Amino acid sequence: MSQIFDDKRQQEIEAYLQKKMSQEEVVNFEEKLTNDQLLQEDVLLQESLQDSFKEDNWATLTNDSDNQELQELKKTLRSDPFTEISETIREVGADYEKKKDTKDRRIYYRMAIAAAVLLLCALPFFINSQSSSVYDQYANWETLPSLREKGDTQAAIIEGESLYISQKYKEAIRYFKDTIDASDPYYSYALMYLGASYFQTENLEKAHQTYNTLIATNSLQSSYGYWYKLLMYLKVENTEKANEMLTLILSNPDNYNYTEAQKIQAALQSK
Amino acid sequence: MEETEKYLNGLIHNDRKVVASIYETFFPKVKSFVLDNKGKEEDVQDVFHDSLMYLIVKHKESPLKVNSFEAYFFTICKNIWRRTLKSNKNRVMNHDPAHYVDKEADLGLFILEQKRLEFYQEKFQLLSPNCKEILGSYFNGMSYEDILQELDYTSVNTVRQRVFKCKAKIIQLIKEDRKYRKLKR
């Protein structure tokens, strides 16, 4: 393999891309970049590789007027046949939303009536549930995000999901460990199920480790890790650690189950 | 396969009924994905529209060979949304709220970026299972320390060496391919 991959050069590229260089080092490295085309090419390639494979990132190209292929594509997209198709899609989309809105409203009224009836019947249950623990109220291990429900039957984790649903937790653990790797597009989902399977087999240490990995993926699903760790701390009544998780969840309204976390925090404070 | 052809041919022939049937079947899933991943209602229509346009351009260029329309279409929607999030992030970082949007340029760039991604994925598949595992973790932002724990290596240095070697391998595979020169970087 060429000298390009010698350790020092690799370490420099990595430190540069991960912004781990001092101001002075950046200046020196960028000077090197302007004089070394091969190094420039390597940095760009590694950057685009990294961004391409990271689930919550994307490797973009620049809108360059010298890019002939891009100019051709723009011309195609602006041509009559394509603008006509584009308009059809927009119109059908608007019709779909309109129809859906009317349907939703009808369903809403029916549900509102049904809910009122249910509320009257279920009042005794609600009174009882006030005395159950916070954990019992919020634990949702049975309803992990389902790719099957989302209709993605192509995803490799479907089989693991089925094992988990049929409570074959040990088989689920084996399946996820053997078949899913970090390059799988649904790696984060697999980690959710793997962690939950460890939890169900009472291997809490492994469950925590798995959710730490999920958090470290820094993907769109990372915050699920905080939630499941929170549940485990609530289960063992470790309020201090549970509060730490709550702080993390509540640091960003986009985090999974943000509203539920607010309620849990209020419930813990009122105890 | 039959269904895939029905959808793709309907799309390139501007068949309203086919477009409506695609909306009925796939819109809810795409909507829940975008909303679950920091998106708003108004973003969903754009993602859906651009993904369909992507399929049309590609299928007109040369007939697409995909086993499952649903899986392929969803992957494209997901990648268009990844791109949107990245562009929004760049705009905030560059303090550029009144960004001028050239829709055709955006879609054109996405088409080229997706092509490059598929090329990288093809090369990634040629790596050893061990390289795929360790590079997958590394590219997804795991630190050397986390990889050490997760994959049972003996030291951080071993992990680092392995990552470097696997990275070198994929770069070599990419550069050896003639297509690499044609892909704009």
Same domain, residue pair B141 and B164? yes
Please check whether residue B120 lies inside any domain of the structure.
Answer: no
Instruction: Please name the member of A7, A89, A92 whose beta carbon is closest to the beta carbon of B164.
Output: A7
Contacts of B113 in chain A (CB under 8 A): 58-61
Full domain range(s) for residue B68: 1-115
- Where is the domain boundary, B85, B115, B145? B115
Whether the Cβ atoms of residue A134 and residue A268 lie closer than 8 Å to each other: yes
Considering chain B, what is the average pLDDT of its residues?
Answer: 91
Cβ of A44 within 8 Å of Cβ of B32? The answer is no
Please check whether residue B49 lies inside any domain of the structure.
Answer: yes
**Whole-prediction pTM:** 0.63
What is the predicted pLDDT for the residue at A125?
47
Same domain, residue pair B94 and B165? no
Same domain, residue pair B108 and B131? no
Same domain, residue pair B31 and B58? yes
Same domain, residue pair B100 and B160? no
Cβ of B83 within 8 Å of Cβ of A60? The answer is yes
The DSSP code for A185 is T
Same domain, residue pair B170 and B79? no
Helix axes B69-93, B2-12, angle to 10 degrees: 50
User: Per-residue pLDDT tens for A43-93?
Assistant: 999 999 998 988 888 998 888 888 899 999 999 999 999 999 999 999 999
Cβ of A92 within 8 Å of Cβ of B111? The answer is no
Same domain, residue pair B5 and B64? yes
Cβ of A217 within 8 Å of Cβ of B11? The answer is no
Same domain, residue pair B23 and B108? yes
In this structure, the number of other CB atoms found within 10 A of the CB of residue A256 comes to 20
Whether the Cβ atoms of residue B42 and residue A61 lie closer than 8 Å to each other: no
Best residue in A73, A178, A208, A222 for a mutation probing chain B (most B CBs within 10 Å):
A73
Please check whether residue B45 lies inside any domain of the structure.
Answer: yes
A44 CB contacts (<8 Å, ≥6 apart)?
Answer: B185
Same domain, residue pair B143 and B72? no
Domain count, chain B: 2
B6 CB contacts (<8 Å, ≥6 apart)?
Answer: B18
What is the predicted pLDDT for the residue at B150?
86
Instruction: Please name the member of B14, B167, B184 whose beta carbon is closest to the beta carbon of A88.
Output: B14
- Where is the domain boundary, B89, B115, B141? B115
Same domain, residue pair B130 and B166? yes
ipTM: 0.88
Whether the Cβ atoms of residue B171 and residue A42 lie closer than 8 Å to each other: yes
Please check whether residue B130 lies inside any domain of the structure.
Answer: yes
Please check whether residue B166 lies inside any domain of the structure.
Answer: yes
Statement: residue A154 has pLDDT above 80: no
Whether the Cβ atoms of residue B54 and residue B110 lie closer than 8 Å to each other: yes
Splitting chain B (185 residues) into consecutive groups of 10 residues, what average pLDDT does each group show?
Answer: 90 97 95 92 95 97 91 95 90 64 90 95 95 92 90 91 93 93 70
Same domain, residue pair B111 and B135? no
Terminal Cα-to-Cα distance of chain A (whole angstroms)? 64
The C-alpha of A58 sits at a distance from chain B's nearest C-alpha, in angstroms, of: 5
Structure tokens at B65: 């060979």
B47 CB contacts (<8 Å, ≥6 apart)?
Answer: B30, B34, B39, B77, B80, B81, B84
Instruction: Please name the member of A5, A53, A213 whose beta carbon is closest to the beta carbon of B146.
Output: A213
Alpha-carbon distances of A143 from A133, A161, A196, rounded to whole Å: 19, 11, 11
Cβ of B53 within 8 Å of Cβ of A219? The answer is no
Please check whether residue B121 lies inside any domain of the structure.
Answer: no
Please check whether residue B62 lies inside any domain of the structure.
Answer: yes
Per-residue pLDDT band at A128 (split at 50, 70, 90): very low
Burial label for B111, CB within 10 Å (0-12, 13-18, 19+), is buried
What percent of chain A has a predicted confidence (pLDDT) above 90?
A: 31
The C-alpha of A125 sits at a distance from chain B's nearest C-alpha, in angstroms, of: 31
- Where is the domain boundary, B66, B90, B115? B115
Same domain, residue pair B36 and B14? yes
